[in-house]
Amino acid sequence: MTLLRSHSALSVPHSALSSPHSALRVHHSALSSPHSAFRTPRSSFFSVLLLLAVLFSLALATKRCPKCGKTYEDVENYCADCVGSDDKPVKLVPVERAKPQPEKPKPKSEPNPETVLPAQPKPSHVAPAGAVFLSTNARGYEEYLWLKDSSVMVKIPAGEFWMGSPQGEGGNDEHPQHKVSLGEYYIDKCEVTNKQFEKFVRATGYQTEAEKGGDGWVFDSDSSKWVNRKGVSWRDNYGYATENHPVVLVSWNDAKAYDDYRIYSAA
């Protein structure tokens, strides 16, 4: 009984000893894997070397056979495969290599005449007394801000224009049509408002000609005509108009008085 136990106990190491052999078999199969995996890179490596050798030989080739086109190095003088009509080897000729072409200068782009803007006179930007330069508008005219009443005025350069109407047009007081020359001047971009005129009146105590005379010309909506009415002035229109509406019922003299206050008092 004891021997049997010993024998059965010995059988365990025997089975265990067989395990390393199977393990070795696994390692052997694993070792074979790198060899199979190495076959593809090795073949690709030799293909790349062959391609490089061909390219290198072409780069060194300085002669070629005019009959078969085969290329040779400079030390060779005759084709090894071709024979001429005189039963002699065909003599090699130099390989003609393409010469690098010099880069052509790019032609200068000509401006499109449709996109060329007419030359504008350079603005002086010299603001008159009491004003500051704002900007040059899209039509090339300089604009200035008058500090006295915050109005914007446009500078008009000196020039000529036709005053009046052509013969056969307009009223009798518009003839004859004639050319007038004007020096440089400034003109309001927008009308003078009730608010601006009231500020002028409060600062100076000015009275308009309508206020002094006690009457003024107004448009009568019933008759659609201009009529003279008593006791009207710019203040009557201010009663229903807003402070940003243009001031009305002012004469040429009233406008000149306002302009003198705005410009010359600032100077």
| pLDDT, tens only, 53-112 | 655 555 555 677 777 877 766 667 677 777 777 777 777 677 666 666 777 777 766 655
Q: Rounded to an integer, what distance in angstroms lies between the CA atom of residue 243 and that of residue 198?
A: 9
Choice among 19-23, 123-127, 188-192, 199-203 with the minimum mean pLDDT: 19-23
Inside any domain, residue 234: yes
pLDDT of residue 28: 43
Inside any domain, residue 88: yes
Q: Is the peptide bond before 176 cis (omega within 30 degrees of 0)?
A: yes
Q: Based on the domain organization, do 198 and 181 belong to the same domain?
A: no
Domain C-terminal end among 167, 190, 213: 190
pLDDT of residue 64: 75
pLDDT of residue 27: 43
Which of 79, 60, 59 is closest to 69 using CA atoms?
79
Q: Based on the domain organization, do 204 and 220 belong to the same domain?
A: yes
Inside any domain, residue 41: no
Residue 93, SS3?
A: strand
Which of 151, 123, 152 is closest to 143 using CA atoms?
152
Q: Rounded to an integer, what distance in angstroms lies between the CA atom of residue 12 and that of residue 5?
A: 11
* % the chain with pLDDT above 90: 36
Q: Based on the domain organization, do 232 and 244 belong to the same domain?
A: yes
Inside any domain, residue 169: yes
Residue 257 has pLDDT above 90, yes or no: yes
CA distances from 217 to 210, 250, 251, 258 (A): 9, 10, 10, 20
Structural domain count, the chain: 3
Q: Rounded to an integer, what distance in angstroms lies between the CA atom of residue 185 and that of residue 45?
A: 88
Domain of residue 232: give its range.
191-267
Q: Based on the domain organization, do 202 and 186 belong to the same domain?
A: no
pLDDT of residue 252: 95
Inside any domain, residue 203: yes
Inside any domain, residue 74: yes
Task: Give the residue, 127 or 25, on which the prediction is more confident.
Answer: 127
Q: Rounded to an integer, what distance in angstroms lies between the CA atom of residue 58 and that of residue 49?
A: 14
Q: Based on the domain organization, do 181 and 201 belong to the same domain?
A: no
Residue 132 sits at φ, ψ, to 5 deg, of: -130, 145
Inside any domain, residue 216: yes
Q: Based on the domain organization, do 162 and 203 belong to the same domain?
A: no
How confident is the model over 7-50, as pLDDT tens digits? Answer: 444 344 444 434 444 433 434 444 444 444 444 455 677 777 77
Inside any domain, residue 105: no
CA distances from 86 to 78, 91, 143, 266 (A): 14, 12, 97, 113
Q: Based on the domain organization, do 209 and 244 belong to the same domain?
A: yes
Q: Based on the domain organization, do 196 and 266 belong to the same domain?
A: yes
Choice among 110-114, 174-178, 191-195 with the minimum mean pLDDT: 110-114
Domain C-terminal end among 190, 210, 227: 190
Q: Based on the domain organization, do 186 and 200 belong to the same domain?
A: no
* pTM to 2 decimal places: 0.49
Neighbours of 141 (CB within 10 A): 16
pLDDT of residue 46: 72
239-265 CB burial, b ≥16 within 10 A, e <16: eeeeeeeebbbbeeebeebbeebbbee
Task: Give the mean pLDDT of 119-139.
Answer: 78
Domain C-terminal end among 165, 190, 215: 190
